[in-house]
Amino acid sequence: MKKGALIGCGFFAQNHMHAWADVDGAAIIALCDRDDKRLKETAERFGIERTYSDAVDLMKSEELDFVDIATTVQTHRPLVELAARSKVHIICQKPFADTLADATAMVDATAAAGVTLMVHENFRWQSAIRAAKAEIEKGSIGTPFWGRVSFRSAYDVYASQPYLATDDRFIIQDLGIHILDIARFLFGDVRTISASTKRVNPAIKAEDVATMMLVHESGVTSVVDCSYASRLSRESFPESLLEVDGSEGALRLMPDYRLVLHNASGTRELDVSPPLLSWAERPWHNIQESVYNIQRHFIDCLNAASTPETSGTDNLKTLELVEAAYLSAAGNSRTIILGSA
Ligand code: NAD
Ligand code: 89Y
């Protein structure tokens, strides 16, 4: 049994706790939050007796195999470095870091300590996205040459996550990071990116719309577009939609988790809806399922001493895209060559 502690008992961490209860071979034995109310509420809800208001005390007092860091980005670096010094494995929420320099320092610290570091980059773990990837890999549409990964909504995310309305950066850093990671997952690493951003909602500080064009090393060109200002006739939060054209056919992941595959043999439509886990609540259930999937993957990797798909090192490439997208948008959508940002 891998023994873990959760640091940060806020809005999204409640999903982590439900998921940990379902993951075989892992148990959360202690909680930490500097907000006493959130700490107590989470401890009561999940029956955890050992609680700490300070992560240093937690690390001194508990014998842990891993920590699950579910705080917002500003505290990731000190907490990751603390855990690395204590030689415990780490799963850390996205966005992993505000800057590439912080991210690189965390990757280096964990490598030097010999501990596993995985970023909780979970959208690629949604079953609909895995189903689409499996169809591409088995050749259902031939060789992909063009793709679109799209997330458009007007869901009120600010109600549960008020910092999204006041942070200096919004949609690329918060949501686009997942959508860029899905593009990497489907089409591979990226050679160039250009981006444009816009703020439509006057009540928030940063951009709530972003459109990005990526040229992948595989030769695929993809469009990654995100919006929290799109008032559609049918709200599909929090579904990521896909369009992929290949040499032998086309794939579409449509609202309501309908995966449509077309090639010379005909057209197939599959229902790739996520399972509704016992604790999940619509419409968040696809994200909640992916939280369970990624946490299970983390424990599988610890048991097998293997590298997680979204290791810290892998996540540097997704963060590099985030940085490059902001740089491009600030420079009239100029094309950024990855590795030169
Ligand atoms: P939140 O503000 O609701 O919760 C963060 C908690 O961490 C707070 O209770 C705060 O008191 C605590 N905290 C902060 N620093 C601490 C420290 N040094 N020691 C102990 N406790 C500390 O935030 P949230 O909305 O739950 O978001 C947390 C993270 O989850 C963010 O990075 C966000 O981007 C991410 N998130 C991910 C997904 C996803 O699908 N992967 C979805 C939503 C949010
Ligand atoms: O914080 C974001 C995330 O990671 O997934 C959706 C979200 O909660 C709001 O954009």
**Span 289-303, mean pLDDT?**
98
Closest ligand to C-alpha of residue 283 is 2
Q: State which of 9, 12, 123, 319 you would mutate to test the pocket of ligand 1, scoring each by most atoms of that ligand within 8 A of its C-beta.
A: 12
**C-beta of 273 in contact with ligand 1 (< 6 A):** no
Q: Which residues pair with 148 in a beta bridge?
A: 223, 243
Domain boundaries, the chain: 2-115, 124-279+317-337
Find the 63 Cα to ligand 2 centroid distance in Å.
32
Per residue in 145-189, pLDDT (tens digit) is 999 999 999 999 999 999 999 999 999 999 999 999 999 999 999
Tokens for 256, please give them. 């309501």
Distance CA 272, CA 93 (A): 26
Who contacts 27 (Cβ-Cβ below 8 Å, separation ≥6)?
A: 1, 2, 3, 4, 20
pLDDT of residue 339 exceeding 90, the answer is no
The closest residue, in CA terms, to atom 1 on ligand 2 is 174
According to CATH, what is the number of the domain 124-279+317-337? 3.30.360.10
Task: Tell me which ligand sits closest to the C-alpha of residue 238.
Answer: 2
Alpha carbon of 145 to those of 129, 158, 234, 334: distances in Å? Answer: 18, 36, 29, 23
Q: Does ligand 1 come within 6 angstroms of the Cβ of 97?
A: no
The answer to whether 154 touches 230, Cβ cutoff 8 Å, is: yes
pLDDT in the model for residue 248: 98
Q: How buried is 333 (Cβ within 10 angstroms: 0-12 exposed, 13-18 middle, 19+ buried)?
A: middle
Q: In the predicted model, what is the mean pLDDT of residues 133-138? A: 98
- The residue among 309, 299, 285 whose CA lies nearest residue 181 is 309
- Please, what is the average pLDDT of the chain? 98
User: If you take atom 6 of ligand 2, which residue's CA is the nearest one?
Assistant: 175
Q: How far is the CA of 337 from the centre of ligand 2 (A)?
A: 27
**pLDDT (tens digit per residue) in 64-122:** 999 999 999 999 999 999 999 999 999 999 999 999 999 999 999 999 999 999 999 99
Residue of the CA atom closest to atom 7 of ligand 2: 175
Residue 177 alpha carbon, nearest atom of ligand 2: 4
Which pLDDT does position 323 carry in this prediction? 97
Name the closest-CA residue to atom 12, ligand 1.
8
Q: Which ligand 2 atom sits nearest the alpha carbon of residue 228?
A: 10
From the CB of 176, is ligand 2 less than 6 Å away? Answer: no
Tell me the ipTM for this assembly: 0.99
pLDDT at 341 > cutoff 80: no
Indicate if ligand 1 lies below 6 Å from the C-beta of 122: yes
- Which residue reads 């997680």 in tokens? 308
Q: Which CATH class is domain 2-115?
A: alpha beta
pLDDT category at 340 given cuts 50, 70, 90 is low
Residue 45's contacts (CB-CB under 8 Å, 6 or more residues apart) are 14, 17
Identify which ligand lies nearest to the alpha carbon of 94. 1
Q: Could you report the per-residue pLDDT of 240-263, keeping only the tens digit for each?
A: 999 999 999 999 999 999 999 999
Instruction: Report the pLDDT value the prediction gives residue 254, as an integer from 0 to 100.
Output: 98
